[in-house]
Structure formats: C-alpha cells, structure tokens
Amino acid sequence: MSRTSPADHDVLLRVNELSTWFAKDDQVIKAADEVSFSIKKGEIVGLVGESGSGKTVTARSIARLISPPGKIVGGQVFLGETSLLDLDEDEMNAVRGDRIGMLFQEPRVMLDPTCRVGNQVGEPLRIHRATSKRDAWSTAVGLLRDVEIPDPEERARSYAIDISGGMAQRVMIATALAAEPDLLIADEPTTALDVTVQAQILQLLQQQCRERGMAMLLITHDLGVVAAIADRVLVMYAGQLVAEGTTEEILRGPLHPYTCALVACASLATADGALVTIRPSSEDLGEGCRFYDRCDLHGQAGISDRCRDEMPSLVESRAGRRTRCHAIELGLGEAVGV
Amino acid sequence: MLMFALRRLGFVAVVLLVVSIFAFLVPYVTGRDPAREILQSRVAERAPDEEVLEAIREELGLNESLFVQYQRWLGSAVEGDLGYSMVSKEPVGELLVNALQITFLLTTVTLTFSLLVSLPMGALAAARRGGWLDNAIVAVTQTGVAIPEYWLGPLLILLFALTLGLVPSAGLRGPEYLVLPALTLALRPIAYITRISRAAMLDVLSSPYITAARARGLSYAKTVVRHGIRNASLPVLSVFAMWFAGLLGGSVVVEVIFAVPGMGRLMYEGVLNSDIPLIQAGLMTIVALAVVFNVLADLLYTVIDPTVKLRR
Ligand SMILES: Nc1ncnc2c1ncn2[C@@H]1O[C@H](COP(=O)(O)OP(=O)(O)OP(=O)(O)O)[C@@H](O)[C@H]1O
Ligand code: SF4
Ligand SMILES: [Mg+2]
C-alpha cells in the first residue's frame, strides 16, 4: 500500500478504490465497491443515489466508523498527507471530530439524552484541545450563537428532549464545527427536517463552509439540495460511483442513463423532491453493468451483450467528468439522443 | 423538581393510608379468634375458659367495632406506638427494628455481591454479543432464575457447611454466618440484574448517539464511560430498587432455613402465632419501605437522567 500523498496540493481528501463489504447470511454485499474520488479544500461535493446505493457506507468508511458485519476490505483514504486506513485506533480518534466533522440524518437521536447540549458541543474541544470544562462551555455557547440558535446560554443548558429537529441539527453543526475541521461529512443533514427548516440549514452549512474554508461531502437523496449548494456531484449506484461532474454538468447534461433517470425524476418533482426508487437491485449482481436491468440505452445502442457480460469502467471524458457506461464510452449516447 | 417531589410525597401518603387499612384488616380475614389462639398458645391442650377469653378480649380491645379499633391502632402507630406482641409481650416496634436491622444487613450484603457479579457479567456479555461467553452467561442466568431457594439453600449447607466445613450453616453470631444466606438470596437478583444490564448495555451501545460521540473523536472505551453507562444504568437501577425493596421485606424461606432472626422469620412466626399487632405493624412496615424505596429510586432517576420527569 502506498503511503504517498496526492501530488495536487489543493486536494484535501482523496479516496482511492475504497471497498466496504457486509457479510450477510454467508453472502457478501459490496456496499461500497472500489469507490474513488477526491475533494478539494473548501469544496462542496454532493453524493447522490437512491436508498441502499452505499452513500452512508462510503461516508462512514472515510471516518472509519464501520462496525461489524461491515468491514473496509480495501483501498486508501488520504486526508491531506495522512493515510487514514493506515492509522492505529488512537491516531484515528485524533482525526475524528478534529479534522473531520460529521452530521447525521436524525439529529435528535444523535444527542445523548442525559447530557446537556453545551457539554456535547464542547466535547470535541475537551477531547482534542484539552480545553477546560469552563472554556469549552463558553466556546460552545459562542458556537451555538454562530449557528444562529436564539438564546444560546439558555439552549446550552437544555437537553435533546427540549429541542426541535432543526434546532438539534444546528447543535450537531455547532459540535462538528467546534474543533474547526477541514472536512465536514454531512449524511443527509436535512432529510428528516421540515421543508422550510431544510433551506435554512443548507444555507447555514454553505455559509459556514465559505467562512471557514471548510470542505463538505454532502450526502443527499435530493437533487434540489445538490443544485442549491454543491460545486460538484458524485452519483452512486449499487455500491459504485457511476458518474461525476460539476453540478452544472450533471444536472444540465447528464450522460449516464441512471443520472438521466434521476434528473428526469427530480424535474417531475415528487412531493418532497426525493429520488424515486425505481427498483432496488443491489442483490444478485452479475458480471456486467449493475444498471443493466433498468437501462433502456443498451438495447437502443445495440450493445446489450457487452453490457450484460462486462462491467463498464468509470471513464474520464473531460477533466473531472467521469461516467461508467459502455454506450457513453463508445460515443453511442448521442447517437440515440441522450 | 420540588413540585415533582411534593407530588410524589402526596402520592405516598395516600398509598400508605390505603395500605394501613388492609394491613389492619388482614389478620381478621383469616377468621380465627385471636383471643383463643393466644390462650391456647399459653395453656396448651386445655379447653379455653370462656371467662378468660373475655378478659383477654377486653384487655386487647377486641370487643370494640373494627372502625374504632382501626382508629385507635392508626392513632398510636402514628405516635410511634405499635403495640405489644401478643406472644412475647415485647414492644412490636422494638421487634421490628431488630429484625429489620438484620434483614437490612443481609439485603445489603446480598445485593452488593449481586451487583459485583452481575454488572461485569452483563457488560461482558454485551461486549461479546453472540460469542460463546455471551451464550454461556445467558444460559446461566436462565437457569439461575429457575432455581428455587428452598432447594439451593439446603444444597449450599450440605456442600459448604456440612461437607467442607467452611462456613456455619445456621444462626447469626458473626459476619461469616451471612455467607450462605446471602449466596442463596443472591442467585436470582444476579440472574435478573445480569440480564437487564446486558440488555440495557446492548441497547445503549447500538444507539445513534454512541456513533455520534465516536465521530467527535472519543475512543470506544471513553464513549462507553461518558455516554454509555449513565444511559444504561436507568433500567438497571429500577430493577435494583425493586430487589432492594423486595428483599427488605425479608425472605421467609431463607431466614427460616438459615435461622436468621430477620423480618422474614419474624413475620413467619407472627403468622404462626396469629400475633395480630405484629402482623399489622410488620405488613405496614414492609409496604412503607417498598414505597419509600420506589420514591427514592424515582428521585435518583431524575438525578441520573434529568429528562425523566418530563417523560412521565
Ligand atoms: N449494518 C448493516 N448490515 C448489513 N448490511 C448493511 C448494513 N449497513 C449497510 N448495509 C448494506 O449496504 C448497502 C448500502 O447502505 P447505505 O446505508 O450506505 O445506503 P444509503 O445509500 O446511505 O441509503 P439511504 O439513502 O437509505 O441512507 C445497503 O443496501 C445494505 O445492503
Ligand atoms: S453500460 Fe450498458 S447497461 Fe450500463 S448504463 Fe451503460 S448502456 Fe446501460
Ligand atoms: Mg444513508
């Protein structure tokens, strides 16, 4: 395994062929299958895909928060110069919460019900900066003010049960910001919130990223979220990355048939803007393209045999634009009007 | 917090009043004539003399209406006078205090031992979930709850007292006398507290806030200490309080087998002799203790988990 860091000094996170598998009834689920991408300093990258496509597994694998039956089976993760998968457990603890902050989908259950909000927000400082209890508390109050929580002194003294979901996510954001991380991993931070609150939280996240020069991996079902704040987009399908591009490229000129379906669904605007699950097909993967069963393009392009038997690779067509599809690779996409 | 405490106190007062009525009435529902019983216990075999019986009834106020008797009983009980044992003629209050001290000691020893065994076992089983150790611990606790004390007690006496001669088998003349009764009593609390602590720990460790704490950079061990134990201790505490209150009532079986002069034996003898004042005051004391323990446990919850009072 190589310990060298990526050459590009703008790159903050480089994920290289990261694979995480789950053992389930003597069968392996490749929840993240050789996932590769990178994030530049200060960049907001969206990770989209339907339920079960492996977004959460990918995010948690980066922070090495995978528990059995899951296991990271291969690949590399570089955060700056540091190869995370080569760290021992203590070194990794020093990275979590300090250089990487995390947000989760259900903010209220992420708070310890018996612990005051202020203590949880200040905890990263207590862990990573050896800050005194009193100083951590006053910094926490300041952070709560930063994330626009009214009456932060009062709120710091409250418990998870006393606050709303939107408020709880602000608390989680304040916690994640406490040690001023370089990277924020936000796993569907707005999915569980009211629509009006969603927009406020997104705006807050974007603003904090800008002010602090912090990069964010933003996981979401919702292309609307991506359109609002992401610089670039990664599309996942059945454990694999199938497309990557700038937000503009992905939303305006999708190439991969799955991305096209996503964009079409999103513009059909389901009530909550979430992606419609067309049909889950993570199980029983054959040799070929995982989107084969749901794809109309291979028939039209006359390459069905190849698509069924051979896995397409993620091909870079232009700097930063990657697509995993035989038809696109062969230039047949345009021929049939994609 | 204050309101919470006051409301609980009001509740306790009502419960105790209701219980006092039942405690007062219990000896009467057996339908036996206490005066006759007393006399028979004194002058064995001889047919009771009606005149003497009447004198006893008069002396004990048994001729008055139940309501008057209840009033008088409650009144003096409130003043701290629980009457005199019909058998030994000693003050019931003193008998109860002596017996309670012994049972309290036995209970404390039993449950301290139980906690020392079951908390690590429960935590260990949770940490090794599904492994052979976990399976073994679960199997042992399942067997433990099914073993009756009247079987285990004699077995332990046979093994440790009679065969190995390590500890005395009966009486209470020193700390070593508590070993066998405490062991016998501890079996079931160990089984139950192990189970509940295992379940509570599993529940807490799979909670999202544990993952979130790990994501802040806490090591697994520190996460368990800072965010796990406090949350897992709530259900454990409630089972513990239940056992404490229950054991304070005294175990008849164990105290009789090991000749420990505690609450269980005192009540057992009281019932055998139809010692009405003793039965009444004893019942009242046992229930009052149970209620007080519940309230204490409730107050302790609010200290451990400050959100508890809001959930009720
Ligand atoms: N704890 C687990 N045990 C077994 N399999 C798991 C577990 N967690 C994830 N998986 C597998 O990994 C796959 C990807 O899960 P993941 O949670 O990453 O999906 P996701 O894209 O985040 O979906 P969602 O949008 O629903 O959050 C799942 O389909 C499942 O098969
Ligand atoms: S590789 Fe073939 S099956 Fe897969 S998306 Fe492209 S055209 Fe469809
Ligand atoms: Mg997810």
**pLDDT for B180-229, tens place per residue?**
999 999 999 999 999 999 999 999 988 999 999 999 999 988 888 888 88
Domain shared by B107 and B256, yes or no: yes
Dihedral of alpha carbons B294, B298, B300, B305, sign: positive
Distance from CA of B198 to the nearest CA of A (A): 19
Q: What percent of chain B has pLDDT over 70?
A: 91
Domain shared by A149 and A245, yes or no: no
B281 C-alpha vs ligand 1 centroid, how far in Å? 62
Domain shared by A202 and A82, yes or no: yes
The tokens describing A147, both together, are 């994330």
DSSP sequence for B47-78: PPPHHHHHHHHHHHTTTS-HHHHHHHHHHHHH
Q: Is A1 among the domain residues?
A: no
Domain shared by A245 and A290, yes or no: yes
Mutate to test the pocket of ligand 1, among A18, A25, A29, A72 (most ligand atoms within 8 A of CB): A29
User: Domain end: A180, A206, A226, which one?
Assistant: A180
User: Domain end: A165, A180, A195, which one?
Assistant: A180
What is the dihedral angle through the alpha carbons of B156, B158, B164, B169, rounded to the nearest 10 degrees? 70
**C-alpha span between B113 and B107 (Å, rounded):** 10
C-beta separation of A157 from A171 below 8 A = no
CA A127 to mean position of chain CA atoms: 25
A240 C-alpha vs ligand 2 centroid, how far in Å? 13
Compare all CA atoms of chain B with the CA of A116 and give the residue at the minimum distance: B306
Domain shared by B109 and B235, yes or no: yes
Q: Is A6 among the domain residues?
A: no
Domain shared by A145 and A260, yes or no: no
A50 C-alpha vs ligand 1 centroid, how far in Å? 11
Domain shared by A140 and A219, yes or no: no
Q: What percent of chain B has pLDDT over 90?
A: 22
Domain shared by A145 and A293, yes or no: no
Q: Which atom of ligand 1 is nearest to the CA of A67?
A: 1
Indicate the range of A273-287, B58-72, B138-152, B292-306 predicted with least confidence: A273-287
Give SS3 for B3. Answer: helix
Domain count, chain A: 2
Q: Which of B212, B215, B230 faces A114 most closely, judged by CB atoms?
A: B230
CA distances from residue A130 to A31, A138, A175, B20 in whole angstroms, order as listed: 37, 14, 16, 58
User: Domain end: A133, A150, A180, which one?
Assistant: A180
**Binary contact (B208, A63; C-beta < 8 A):** no
**C-alpha span between A144 and A151 (Å, rounded):** 9
C-beta separation of B73 from B84 below 8 A = no
Domain count, chain B: 2
Q: Is A3 among the domain residues?
A: no
- ipTM for the complex? 0.85
CA distances from residue A285 to A31, A58, A214, B17 in whole angstroms, order as listed: 12, 19, 37, 71
Does residue A69 have a cis peptide bond before it, meaning omega lies within 30 degrees of 0? yes
**C-alpha span between A198 and A106 (Å, rounded):** 13
Q: Is A150 among the domain residues?
A: yes
* Confidence band, pLDDT 50/70/90 cuts, at residue B50: confident
C-beta separation of B264 from B286 below 8 A = no
* Interface list for chain B against chain A, based on CB atoms closer than 8 Å: 207-209, 211-220, 227, 230-231, 304-307, 310-311
Domain shared by B144 and B64, yes or no: no
Domain shared by B67 and B104, yes or no: no
The candidate with the shortest Cα–Cα distance to A224, out of A175, A265, A281, is A265
Q: Is B209 among the domain residues?
A: yes
Domain shared by A171 and A191, yes or no: no
Domain coverage including residue A23:
11-99+181-336
Number of Cα atoms under 13 Å in the Cβ half of residue A212? 25
Query: How many other CB atoms sit within 10 Å of the CB of residue B17?
Result: 10
B310 contacts on A by Cβ (under 8 Å): 161
**C-alpha span between A236 and A68 (Å, rounded):** 23
Distance from CA of A289 to the nearest CA of B (A): 34
Domain shared by B20 and B65, yes or no: yes
Q: Which of A110, A163, A183, A188 to mutate to test the interface with B (most CBs of B within 10 A)?
A: A110
| Start-end of H helices in B206-262 | 208-215, 220-223, 229-248, 252-257
- DSSP bridge pairs for B84: B91
User: Global pTM?
Assistant: 0.78
pLDDT, tens digit (0-9, with 9 covering 90-100), for B242-288: 888 889 887 888 998 888 899 999 999 888 887 888 888 888 888 88
The candidate with the shortest Cα–Cα distance to B26, out of B290, B270, B293, is B270
Is any ligand 2 atom within 6 A of the Cβ of residue A332?
A: no
Domain shared by A92 and A217, yes or no: yes
What pLDDT was estimated at residue A187? Answer: 94
Domain shared by A74 and A43, yes or no: yes
Domain shared by B151 and B290, yes or no: yes
- DSSP state letter for B176: G
Give SS3 for A194. Answer: coil
Q: Among A71-80, B117-126, B143-152, which range has the highest average pLDDT?
A: A71-80
C-beta separation of B39 from B56 below 8 A = yes
A89 contacts on B by Cβ (under 8 Å): 219-220
Domain shared by B55 and B182, yes or no: no
What pLDDT was estimated at residue A278? Answer: 45
**C-alpha span between A293 and A77 (Å, rounded):** 32
**C-alpha span between A186 and A38 (Å, rounded):** 16
Domain shared by A211 and A151, yes or no: no
Q: Is A130 on the interface with B (CB under 8 A)?
A: no
Q: Is A151 among the domain residues?
A: yes
Distance from CA of A113 to the nearest CA of B (A): 7
Q: Is B88 among the domain residues?
A: no
Domain shared by A197 and A261, yes or no: yes
Residue by residue, pLDDT tens for chain A (338 residues) are: 444 444 567 899 999 999 999 988 888 889 999 999 999 999 999 999 988 899 999 999 999 999 888 999 999 999 998 999 999 999 999 999 999 999 998 888 999 988 899 999 999 999 999 889 999 999 999 999 988 899 999 999 999 888 988 899 999 999 999 999 999 999 999 888 888 888 888 999 999 999 999 999 999 988 888 988 999 999 999 999 999 999 999 988 889 989 988 888 766 544 444 444 444 444 556 688 998 888 888 888 888 888 888 899 998 888 889 999 998 888 876 655 44
Domain coverage including residue B268:
97-311
Indicate the range of B31-45, B56-70, B98-112 predicted with least confidence: B31-45
